[in-house]
Amino acid sequence: MSRKTVKVIIAAGTRPNFIKVAPLIKALDKHKENAGNKKGVKIDYVFVHTGQHYDKEMSKSFFDDLSLPRPDINLGVGSGSHAEQIGKIISKFGKVCLKEKPNLVIVVGDVNSTVACALAAAKLSVPVAHVEAGLRSFDRTMPEELNRVLTDQASDYLFATCEDACANLKREGIPEEKIYFVGNVMIDTLFRFISKIKANSKIGGSYALLTLHRPGSVDNRAVFKKMLEALRRVSKKIPIIFSAHPRTQKQIKLFKYEKYFNFLNSSSMRSINPKKAINLLNALPYPEFMALLSGARLVLTDSGGIQEETTILGIPCLTLRTNTERPITVKEGTNIITGNNPDKIVKAAFAALKNKLNHKKNPKYWDGKASERIVNILARELR
């Protein structure tokens, strides 16, 4: 039997996307090398960047930090409302599919780029593989939840990070033969760069790390203020370093909440000396942010991926939301759901700082090999 060559498009557009795509591309490159002397399928890929994140700190620098190749195609969609952004991506990505004629489109995560590329491909009868399928917060007010559900319904290969995600998909009527429990590609990236992360300069002394970016956290003036009041109380016990997303900084200026922060110069991590305050700095490149994360005594966040990374690193994580699409990080990890109630945030933070964490075992298949499993499955199925 002669070797068959198939073409896949890997679509990504945001910082979390790039972290998840990096190990997939590495696994595809490895498979391509190994397939050279073997019969069977050879997988070629086209890397498409939608341009959803266009800020240098949030996009371009990630290619170097994650050893990612430069994208073959950049759609350059930029900002806009959810509807505008998704519409632009569907239109532009559909044209890419018509030109490239792929055998498969791979999408990752739950952002606008994910659902838009999946829908564009499905409309053209191009099979779709969704990496990180089945995660559910069961909160339809979150844009990401709608993105997850729609992407999964449009997909032909659903790669799940955990067993409860598989159960969610089956409950929604996804045929079992389309579902594959493979593990977590974000953890693949963490394991790959862990030595580089630890080699990065760290801040001396104890500190907590904060990230906030979701609309439910920072777009409502009253909610944001209550959270900042709570965080300021926590910061009197331990310095908080706030790696602030560009859109969060925009909201801080809009609401005139600068008084809550001590602004740091992030040009050199070695020079940072956080006060007992909420110390704000710009969003950081992946290795520097992960160095901050790995050295923190406590993490406070509304991010999904950070819940997973703290679970592997054994760091207490307070999720400042009323729900999580990653309940395994609560059941088997280090995550605690506090909501945005100020008293609950402060109480949970003080308890986490006082009590020694009893780290549980890592979730099944969170072992750095999820991308290899995905590529092996695709090579088998596409053959």
As annotated, the active-site residues are 213
CB 288 within 8 A of CB 269: yes
CB 155 within 8 A of CB 357: no
β partners of residue 186: none
Tokens of 304: 């999904």
The amino acid that residue 122 corresponds to is A
Tokens of 74: 């950049």
Q: What angle do CA 239, 212, 181 make, to 5 degrees?
A: 115
Rounded Cα distance between 24 and 189, Å, is 9
Grouping H, G, I as helix, E, B as strand and the rest as coil, residue 297 is coil
Tell the residue number behind the tokens 């520097």, with chain if given.
288
All residues at 6 or more sequence positions from 351 whose CB lies less than 8 Å from its CB, including other chains: none
Measured CA distances, 54 to 13, 20, 78, 80, 306 (Å): 9, 18, 6, 12, 22
CB 89 within 8 A of CB 52: yes
CB atoms within 10 A of CB 277: 17
Task: List alpha helices for 280-369, DSSP H.
Answer: 286-295, 305-313, 328-331, 342-354
Grouping H, G, I as helix, E, B as strand and the rest as coil, residue 100 is helix
Tokens of 208: 């907590």
Q: Are strands 157-160 and 128-133 parallel, antiparallel or unpaired?
A: parallel
